[in-house]
Amino acid sequence: MSLPVHLVPSLAGVRPGSAVEVTGDEAHHAVAVRRLRAGEFVVLTDGAGTAATGEVTSTGKRVFAVTVTDVATPPEPAPAVTVVQALPKGDRGELAVEMLTEIGVARIVPWAATRSVAVWRGDRAAKSVAKWRATAREAAKQARRAWFPDVAELAGTAAVVELVRAADLVVVLHEEAERSLPDVGAATSVVVVVGPEGGLTDEEVAAFVGAGAVSVRLGAEVLRTSTAGVAAVAALLAGTPRWR
């Protein structure tokens, strides 16, 4: 059985024998909801590449202490994959973030595409980004990730174009594309652009392709925006050492 994972602000300087105290909401959930008790083992991670396994030595109302028995620092997974996710309607955004995190994406960029049904403005944008970040954090713990994904601020099309210019390989998922995803090859960093329910506009596709992206199709089926990114990333990673 896999050990539960808890996020801590920092594991700098931690080594076997170190004592680490977990506080706040993270500790409250572990102690009050999961009924964590002394003598159990857990994994602590900073989400930035360090994971420490240890034994719980004490628990309180919003705190528990761990004595570290092992520290691991796995390298950052390569290739690094960024998904530009057009805003889906309803709770499908959180579903997409959860699945993309579980599959190993390094960065998720919420994108206000022209035909996005959902609109984020003002306080709603801040709250929605915070919700995506919380979803990614919990999914990363569930997936036992040492490297947590970054969820960026809401981006417009111009910002996505600049992201495309800076990437090694960018694929834009489009049902009318002539090339298929397996034809694009490999790269050290990959960006996948996923359009909204209403589809990409010709202007968006032209802007991305003009900046260096490759327009590709996944197959004959048209997937929902909340699942298309997951399918594309899985297809890409299947041809890399990460999935071998």
Length of the chain: 244
- Dmax over CA atoms of the chain, in Å, equals 60
As a whole-number percent, the residues of the chain with pLDDT over 70 amount to 100
Q: Are 171 and 214 in contact (CB under 8 A)?
A: yes
List of domains in the chain: 5-72 (2.40.240.20), 80-243 (3.40.1280.10)
Which helix (H) or strand (E) element contains residue 138?
helix 122-142
**Tens digits of residue pLDDT in 170-204:** 999 998 888 888 778 778 889 999 999 989 999 99
**Tens digits of residue pLDDT in 10-61:** 999 999 999 999 999 999 999 999 999 999 999 999 999 999 999 999 999 9
- Dihedral over Cα of 183, 148, 87, 120: its sign: negative
Residue with the bigger pLDDT between 44 and 244: it is 44
Given this model, what pLDDT does residue 1 score?
A: 66
What pTM does this model have? 0.93
